[in-house]
């Protein structure tokens, strides 16, 4: 029996072979050693070896691309002559949020495999000594660089002797099964507009209807290229879509390479056993980033200003058209449009007895409104195609346009007061043409109404415009057309319907007094535009424009009393006006605050918009109320005065422990434009309540204390 046991022991030792030996190094945070897949190696053959790092709880090291910060683990080798070793075969990393940053790395027990090939002339019975200098950065609340000198002795066995297994064999086999495989049966594409990127992963095979897809995470190979914190994942009918963003100083790559990892370890997604697949997505420039139709947000999207489900449009074109049409009708009741509409209604009273002329004027006015909205849409599309981050009201982000509008409304006010007649300023031929075609005035009034409407976003408009600017140009034009039709229709219906006209008051002396009274809303509009200009270009620019208004009033008065008659007089007036405008044109902008990057820091307890701060508040579990506003947005200013800046609102925010953030869009800001786009919006006002662990809550464009209290009540458990 003793001889039998001895024989069995010898057979077992022969099967396992000689043991590979390694030293273990323990630092304060990591235990490191070299391990081998097999107990020995044959001459000229290869096997897997690996660097094993055991992290203490809560500490981590980094992947090949560490993310926002950190350094990847490196290994410097000293090998026997004639041997070779490959690169680290990185396993799938994890996203590691650290405050506002996101890093890519590993926690717990980590194995970094490599393939080692023994020298062809290795002598059986000898040992191969592998020496490695391993370096890593280990982090938790602080980061500490560590290193270790490690050795591994690999016995050499003769050809025909099968090396035995080790305690790590199963671990290496699992690592090989989870190794990244090529992305087969799928196509990867990358769209870019400015800094915004959309990565699409689409299956070439038809997916079963309703088939659930697990969440995935994407890790690019190139460092400092993509903002790791921006990771908005959508399921699409053909696979996935992922919103990413280039870092501020990054050069757009010709293609994006990296790995995509299915969460939960599901390898069935990529048609193989591994949950990780390598992809290469060629870059394509697009005029705007548009999600595939039917895309829906998947769980696991990055925190922050992700698209809000409440108030979203989904992908319904018909819903967008309906909302745009209704929003256009409501736009007539907004404070920025009402003065212009009042002037048009005054003209309607004058011509109430001429149905044919009224219909012509109605059609001309509607045409002016519709074509102006389409022109705005084309301008938006062209600017976005050129890489500009713009949205509804983009023209009022330019101080020069604000300056021109202030002069225009001031001149209209003087005309209504009777300071001059516009026809007297035109050349005789132009005045005659205008007299023969009175519909031109109606068309110009429609254009003016749209210009006056641009500072306002009526209810329902925000969602429709946000949808339009993520779609094709044809869809965007259709939505803007519906908006213009909705704005023009009430006035046109009033003109066409005889029953409505019969209720209009009779013309009389009261009309002249009303006309003069309507000058004061025009002057008030000019004052408001001057205040906007002061916010954009400084007090000096506002003072020069005030002097320009005085000069314009003087020129118009001189023209009215006959001082600029004849060709010579009108030429002198035109040259004088041109010189005045050139002198007063706003060119200087106030210096940006170096701490915020904006020209104006929010006050009254409101913090300036900072996406890093939003991520930090989300990590702390604090709710945040974000006010997307602009000085030129009339609805924004009304909401501030009546709701947000009241003691009642301040008390409600304080009781709910809500952080107040104000995103000032008065001047063009690509970061704020992108944040609005993620919320499905393209203009201001926009109000969003960021609730930790839940979807953002979008509030209506017109606020009330009741709406605000109801929104804050959703924070209660």
pLDDT in tens, 366-392: 888 899 888 888 887 777 665 555 566
Residue 346 is encoded by which pair of tokens? Answer: 């005054």
Q: Are 234 and 242 in contact (CB under 8 A)?
A: yes
Q: Is 238 in the same domain as 157? A: no
Q: Is 279 in the same domain as 207? A: yes
Q: Is 40 in the same domain as 147? A: yes
Residue 136 β-bridge partners: 146
Treating both helix axes as pointing N-terminal to C-terminal, what angle do 473-496 and 317-331 enclose, rounded to 10 degrees? Answer: 40
Q: Pick from 167, 195, 221: which residue ends a domain? A: 167
Strands 181-182 and 276-285: parallel
Residue 79 is encoded by which pair of tokens? Answer: 């090998």
Q: Is 219 in the same domain as 122? A: no
Which pLDDT score is estimated for 469? 65
Q: How many domains does the chain have?
A: 3
> Average pLDDT for residues 267-287, to the nearest whole number?
83
Q: Is residue 571 part of a domain?
A: no
How many C-beta atoms surround the C-beta of residue 407 within 10 A?
21
Which pLDDT score is estimated for 587? 65
Q: Is 106 in the same domain as 206? A: no
- State how far the Cα of 180 lies from the Cα of 91, in Å rounded to an integer: 8
Extract the runs of DSSP E, i.e. beta strands, from 186-275.
Answer: 186-193, 196-203, 216-220, 232-236, 239-245, 255-262
- Judged by DSSP in three states, 245 sits in strand
Question: Residue 615 belongs to a domain with what CATH number?
Answer: 3.40.30.10
Least confident piece of the model among 169-173, 267-271, 429-433, 602-606: 429-433
pTM: 0.48
Q: Is residue 78 part of a domain?
A: yes
Which pLDDT score is estimated for 8? 42
Question: Residue 163 belongs to a domain with what CATH number?
Answer: 2.60.40.1250
Which pLDDT score is estimated for 644? 92
Three-state secondary structure of 623-648: CEEEEEECCCCHHHHHHHHHHHCCHH
- State how far the Cα of 35 lies from the Cα of 48, in Å rounded to an integer: 9
Q: Pick from 297, 329, 359: which residue ends a domain? A: 297
Q: Is 70 in the same domain as 158? A: yes
Q: Is 227 in the same domain as 253? A: yes
Q: Is 149 in the same domain as 243? A: no
Q: Which residue has the tokens 């915020």?
A: 596
- Judged by DSSP in three states, 438 sits in coil
Q: Is residue 346 part of a domain?
A: no
- Judged by DSSP in three states, 339 sits in helix
Q: Is residue 49 part of a domain?
A: yes
| Residue 15 in this model has a pLDDT that exceeds 50 | no
Q: Is residue 474 part of a domain?
A: no
Which of 95-104, 543-552, 582-591, 656-665 is modeled with the greatest confidence?
Answer: 656-665
Residue 352 is encoded by which pair of tokens? Answer: 């109430």
Q: Is 34 in the same domain as 155? A: yes
Helices (H), 461-565: 461-468, 473-496, 498-501, 510-517, 519-537, 539-560
Q: Is 129 in the same domain as 26? A: yes
Percent of the chain with pLDDT over 70: 76
Least confident piece of the model among 227-241, 316-330, 448-462, 589-603: 589-603
- State how far the Cα of 707 lies from the Cα of 717, in Å rounded to an integer: 19
Which residues fall within 8 angstroms of residue 166, CB to CB, at 6 or more apart? 19, 20, 35, 36, 37, 38, 39
Burial class (CB in 10 A: 0-12, 13-18, 19+), 587: exposed
pLDDT tens digit string along 242-273?
A: 999 998 788 899 999 999 998 865 556 776 66
First and final C-alpha spacing in the chain:
73
Domain around 612: 607-713
Q: Is residue 356 part of a domain?
A: no
Three-state secondary structure of 350-390: HCCCCHHHHHHHHHHHHHHHHHHHHHHHHHHHHHHHCCCCC
Question: Which residue from 623, 628, 619, 626 is spatially nearest to 691, judged by alpha carbons?
Answer: 623
Q: Is residue 518 part of a domain?
A: no
Q: Is 156 in the same domain as 224? A: no
Q: Pick from 273, 297, 321: which residue ends a domain? A: 297
pLDDT tens digit string along 641-678?
A: 889 989 899 999 999 999 999 998 888 777 888 788 77
Question: Residue 212 belongs to a domain with what CATH number?
Answer: 2.60.40
Q: Is residue 548 part of a domain?
A: no
Q: Is 159 in the same domain as 283? A: no
Question: Which residue from 665, 676, 538 is spatially nearest to 608, judged by alpha carbons?
Answer: 665
| Residue 708 in this model has a pLDDT that exceeds 70 | yes
Question: Which residue from 334, 319, 632, 342 is spatially nearest to 458, judged by alpha carbons?
Answer: 334
pLDDT tens digit string along 119-152?
A: 999 999 999 999 999 999 999 878 899 999 999 9
Query: Taking phi first (over 0 means left), then psi (-120 to 50 degrees means alpha), and beta for anything else, what does residue 491 get?
Result: alpha
Which of 101-115, 487-501, 537-551, 626-640 is modeled with the greatest confidence?
Answer: 101-115
| Residue 82 in this model has a pLDDT that exceeds 70 | yes
The sheet that has 686-690: what strands, in order across it? Answer: 607-608, 659-664, 624-629, 686-690, 697-699
């Amino acid at each position: 029996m003793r001889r039998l046991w001895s024989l069995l022991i010898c057979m077992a030792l022969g099967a396992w072979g000689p043991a590979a030996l390694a030293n273990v190094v323990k630092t304060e945070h990591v235990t490191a050693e070299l391990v081998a897949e097999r107990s020995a190696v044959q001459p000229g053959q290869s096997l897997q070896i690996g660097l094993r790092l055991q992290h203490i709880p809560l500490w981590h090291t980094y992947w090949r691309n560490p993310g926002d910060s950190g350094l990847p683990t490196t290994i410097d080798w000293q090998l026997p002559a004639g041997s070779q070793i490959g690169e680290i075969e990185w396993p799938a990393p994890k996203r590691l949020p650290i405050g506002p940053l996101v890093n890519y790395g590993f926690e717990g027990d980590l194995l970094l495999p490599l393939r080692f090939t023994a020298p062809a002339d290795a002598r059986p019975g000898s040992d191969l000594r592998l020496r490695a200098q391993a370096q890593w950065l280990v982090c938790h609340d602080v980061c500490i660089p560590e290193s270790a000198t490690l050795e591994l002795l690999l016995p050499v066995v003769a050809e025909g002797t099968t090396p035995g297994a080790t305690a790590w064999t199963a671990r290496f086999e699992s690592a090989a099964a989870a190794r990244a495989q090529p992305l087969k049966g799928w196509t990867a594409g990358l769209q870019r507009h400015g800094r915004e990127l959309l990565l699409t992963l689409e299956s070439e095979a038809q997916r079963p209807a309703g088939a659930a897809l697990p969440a995935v995470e994407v890790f690019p190979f190139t460092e400092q290229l993509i903002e790791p914190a921006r990771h908005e994942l959508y399921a699409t009918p053909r696979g996935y879509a992922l919103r990413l963003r280039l870092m501020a100083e990054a050069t757009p790559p010709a293609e994006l390479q990296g790995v995509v990892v299915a969460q939960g370890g599901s390898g069935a997604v990529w048609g193989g056993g591994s949950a990780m697949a390598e992809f290469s997505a060629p870059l394509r420039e697009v005029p705007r980033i548009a999600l595939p139709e039917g895309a829906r947000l998947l769980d696991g999207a990055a925190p922050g200003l992700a698209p809000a489900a409440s108030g979203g449009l989904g992908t319904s074109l018909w819903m967008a058209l309906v909302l745009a049409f209704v929003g256009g009708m409501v736009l007539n009741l907004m404070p920025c449009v009402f003065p212009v509409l009042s002037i048009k209604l005054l003209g309607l009273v004058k011509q109430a007895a001429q149905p044919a002329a009224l219909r012509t004027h109605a059609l001309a006015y509607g045409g002016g409104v519709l074509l102006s909205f389409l022109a705005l849409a084309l301008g938006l599309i062209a600017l976005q195609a050129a890489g500009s981050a713009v949205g509804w009201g983009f023209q009022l982000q330019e101080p020069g346009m604000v300056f021109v509008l202030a002069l225009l409304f001031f001149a209209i006010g003087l005309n209504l007061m009777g300071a001059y007649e516009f026809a007297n300023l035109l050349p005789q031929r132009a005045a005659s043409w205008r007299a023969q075609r009175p519909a031109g005035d109606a068309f110009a009034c429609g254009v003016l109404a749209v210009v006056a409407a641009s500072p306002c976003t009526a209810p329902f408009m925000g969602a429709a415009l946000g949808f339009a600017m993520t779609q094709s140009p044809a869809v965007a034009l259709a939505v803007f057309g519906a908006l213009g039709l909705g704005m023009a229709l009430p006035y046109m219906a009033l003109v066409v319907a005889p029953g409505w006209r019969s209720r209009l008051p009779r013309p009389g002396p009261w009309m002249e007094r009303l006309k003069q009274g309507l000058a004061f809303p025009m002057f008030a509009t000019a004052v408001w535009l001057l205040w906007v200009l002061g916010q954009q270009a400084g007090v000096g620019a506002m003072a020069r424009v005030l002097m320009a208004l005085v000069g314009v009033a003087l020129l118009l008065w001189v023209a009215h009393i006959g001082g600029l008659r004849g060709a010579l007089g009108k030429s002198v007036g035109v040259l004088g006006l041109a010189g005045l405008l050139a002198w007063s044109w706003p060119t200087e902008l106030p210096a940006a605050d170096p701490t915020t990057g904006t020209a104006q820091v929010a006050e009254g307890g409101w913090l300036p918009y900072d996406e890093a701060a939003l991520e930090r508040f989300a990590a702390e579990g604090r709710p945040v109320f974000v006010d997307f506003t602009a000085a030129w947005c009339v609805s924004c200013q009304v909401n501030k005065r009546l709701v947000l800046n009241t003691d009642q609102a301040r008390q409600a925010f304080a009781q709910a422990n809500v952080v107040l953030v104000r995103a000032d869009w008065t001047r063009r800001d690509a970061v704020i434009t992108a944040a609005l786009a993620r919320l499905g919006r393209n203009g201001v006002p926009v109000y969003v309540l960021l609730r930790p662990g839940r979807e953002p809550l979008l509030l209506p464009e017109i606020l009330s204390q009741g709406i605000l209290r109801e929104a804050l009540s959703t924070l209660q458990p």
